[in-house]
Chains A and B, each alone.
Chain A
C-alpha cells in the first residue's frame, strides 16, 4: 500500500486539474469495480453493486496549490492560492507545475516577518526573462508543493496526503471487499479544497442514501499544539463534528458499532475548524445522513504531512466493514 501512496502523492494535481491523479486511480481500480465513469466536473465514480441502498464513499483527489497571476519582465511569477495555503509555509519550498516545470519560492525584503502575505512572495523558475518564462508557464498555470514521499517505518511523510491517503484507503477497500451489501458509489472527488465543489455535484447526480467521506483530520499530539483530542497511531477517527457537518447520529452509531464489533481501533473527533466532502453531501437534495472516517494527520497543508500506517489500516478495515454491512 505504501507504494500506492507514494505513487499518488508524487503527482501534482491541484483543485481543478485532477486529470493526472484521476488517470492513475482509474487504472488502479478498473478491475475491482462493476462500472466506472466521470461526471461533468471530473469526479471519478466507481460503482460496485451489492444491494438496494446507495452508499456514497468519497475521497478527494485534489490537493492545495498555487496559480500564476502574473509574469514580470525578469521572468518572476506572482501567484494566488488554490485552497488553504499559508504564506509562512512557502518560503524555501519548491513548486512543481502540472507540466513538470519546477520553481522555488522567494520572498521580498520584509520589514516585519509577521506580515508575510502571498503578495510578498514570488516564484522563480530559473527564467531570465518574461519571454523565457512564458515558454514554460502562463497566467493560470497551476503548481503544487514539490516534495518527496518518505517512509519512516510505521509513519509516512508526503505532500498531499490530504487527501491522497483517503484515495488510497478507498482503492484498497475496493480491492479487499468481497461481499458488498450495498450499491457502493466510490467517488474520487474534485475541488474539495476550494469548497467541497465536486462532492456537491457528485452527490446530486448519485442521490445516495448515505454519505461517508474519507479524509484527514488534525492532531493535538505535538509539542505545544492547539488542544485536540486526536493522536497519531490511536486509530481511525470517527468524526462527530467539524465546521461543515454534525455527523448524523445513525451514521456515527453505525461506524462506532462496526469499529467495536471488528476490534478496529478508533477515536472520536470534534474538530473546531475545517470541513470535508460530507459537508456538501449531507445537504444534497432532501438530505443525506452522512459521516466521516478521518485519518489523523500532522502538519496539515504543509509539504510534509504525516500519517501512521496503523491508522490507515484501521480506516481501510472500517471502510470495508461499511461496504459489507447491509444498510436500510
Chain B
C-alpha cells in the first residue's frame, strides 16, 4: 500500500456525512480484496455504516481498544430546484465565504459537474461590493435546461467539491477532505504496522460516519463495541499567519497529543511515553472544543470509556484546500502502534487508579 496514493484517492472520493458510500468503498476494497485482508481478522459494517476493522489480541483476556477516525466530509445538499439552478444547504460546518467560484459535483442520477457562480463585479450595486454573499443567494449552475435538471437531480442529493488532491512542496498534500481522511490513512497505516507485531490488546479500528454532524457514528459504534479504552484520531489547526501558537500546530513536526477533560490522564501520559521511547516528535494541545471529535462520544459510551485523542495538524480546516504533511501521518501511525504495544490487561486495570 502506498500511503500517498491512498490519501489521494480518499481525499478525492465523495462522501459527505450520511452518504459516505464512495469513500467507504475504497476502505472496503482494501480490507476485503486488497492488501489489508492480511492485517485484520474481521471486517464488518454496522447499521449506520461505520466500518469496523478488527484484529485479535494475544493472551487470555485481551483488553479491547477502539480507534476512531471519521470518513465523512463536509459538503452541500440540494434544497431546491429554482428555474434550472440548484439552491443548496450545508452539511457540516462549511465556511460559506469559500463557496463562491467553486467547482462542484452534484451526485444526482449521475455525477454532474457544476459551478457556484456569482454576480459579476460590474453589475453589483455599490452596497453589495463589500458584503459576503449569503448562502441563500448562492446557486449551482449545471449548464442544463430546467427539464433536464429536474430529470437528473432531486432535492436531497449530495454535492461535493470538485477538487483533486495535489502534492505541494516539502511533503505537504492539499485536498478537499483531509479532515479526517488523513486520520483514516494514519489508522489504516497503523493496522499495517501491527501485522508483524504481537500485541495484547484487541484492536477495533472504526472508520466512523457522520462525525461532522455531531459525532453520530462514534456514538453507536462505541456502544456496539463497548471497548475498555479508546483513541480518536482527528485533525487540529495547523499554523499559519494570524493564528496564535496555542491554537495552531506546526505541520511536519509530528502528531498532536491532546489533553483535557475528555482525555484520561493515564492515556495522555502513555502516549507521550510511547512517543519519547520511539523518538517520535510530538506536540501537545489543551482541548478547547470538547464536543468536536469522536473522543466525545467514546468517552461517554455506556458506563464510560477511558479515552485519548491524537490530532494531525491541518491548515485551512473546512475549506476545499485542507492541507496536511504526509510525515505527520506516518508519525501518527507509528505513535499509535507504539501505544498499542504498551496496552495490556494490567494497563486497563490501572486506569481506575487515579
Residues of A with Cβ closer than 8 Å to B?
Answer: 226-229, 240-241, 246-249, 252, 267-270, 272, 282-289
Partner of A268, one of B48, B91, B154: B154
Distance of A309 from chain B, by nearest CB (Å) = 24
A248 touches B155 (CB 8 A): no
Q: How far is the CA of A113 from the CA of B18 in the complex (A)?
A: 42
A227 touches B136 (CB 8 A): yes
Interface residues as binary, B79-98 with A (CB distance below 8 Å gives 1, 0 otherwise): 11100000101110000000
Partner of A229, one of B80, B210, B216, B224: B80
When distances are taken between beta carbons in the complex, the residues of chain B under 8 Å from A240 are 77, 155-156
Residues of B with Cβ closer than 8 Å to A?
Answer: 17-19, 46-48, 50, 77-81, 87, 89-91, 136, 154-156, 210, 213, 216, 219-221, 223-224
A285 touches B223 (CB 8 A): yes
Distance of B55 from chain A, by nearest CB (Å) = 20
The contact sample of 11 A-B pairs, CB cut-off 8 A, is A228-B80, A229-B81, A229-B155, A267-B155, A270-B78, A282-B48, A285-B223, A286-B46, A286-B220, A287-B48, A287-B224
Closest residue on chain A to residue B89 by CB atoms: A272
A268 touches B156 (CB 8 A): yes
Q: How far is the CA of A180 from the CA of B46 in the complex (A)?
A: 27
When distances are taken between beta carbons in the complex, the residues of chain B under 8 Å from A272 are 79, 89-90
When distances are taken between beta carbons in the complex, the residues of chain A under 8 Å from B90 are 272
A287 touches B47 (CB 8 A): yes
A246-B18, A272-B79, A288-B47 known, 16 other contacts, Cβ within 8 Å: A229-B79, A229-B81, A246-B91, A246-B210, A246-B213, A248-B48, A249-B18, A269-B155, A270-B155, A272-B90, A285-B220, A286-B47, A286-B220, A287-B47, A287-B220, A289-B47
A283 touches B216 (CB 8 A): yes
5 A-B pairs with the lowest CB-CB distances in the bound complex, closest first = A246-B18, A240-B156, A287-B220, A268-B155, A286-B224
Distance of B211 from chain A, by nearest CB (Å) = 12
Closest residue on chain A to residue B302 by CB atoms: A285
When distances are taken between beta carbons in the complex, the residues of chain B under 8 Å from A283 are 216, 219-220
For the residues of B in contact with A, the DSSP-based class is: mixed
B79 touches A270 (CB 8 A): yes
When distances are taken between beta carbons in the complex, the residues of chain B under 8 Å from A286 are 46-47, 220-221, 223-224
Q: How far is the CA of A18 from the CA of B78 in the complex (A)?
A: 37
Closest residue on chain B to residue A288 by CB atoms: B47
B87 touches A227 (CB 8 A): yes
When distances are taken between beta carbons in the complex, the residues of chain B under 8 Å from A289 are 47-48
When distances are taken between beta carbons in the complex, the residues of chain A under 8 Å from B224 are 285-287
A241 touches B91 (CB 8 A): yes
A246 touches B17 (CB 8 A): yes
When distances are taken between beta carbons in the complex, the residues of chain A under 8 Å from B17 are 246
When distances are taken between beta carbons in the complex, the residues of chain B under 8 Å from A288 are 47
When distances are taken between beta carbons in the complex, the residues of chain A under 8 Å from B213 are 246
Closest residue on chain B to residue A268 by CB atoms: B155
B80 touches A227 (CB 8 A): yes
When distances are taken between beta carbons in the complex, the residues of chain A under 8 Å from B79 are 227-229, 270, 272
B156 touches A252 (CB 8 A): yes
B47 touches A241 (CB 8 A): no
When distances are taken between beta carbons in the complex, the residues of chain A under 8 Å from B77 are 240-241, 270
When distances are taken between beta carbons in the complex, the residues of chain B under 8 Å from A227 are 79-80, 87, 136
Q: How far is the CA of A288 from the CA of B219 in the complex (A)?
A: 12
When distances are taken between beta carbons in the complex, the residues of chain A under 8 Å from B156 are 240-241, 252, 268-270
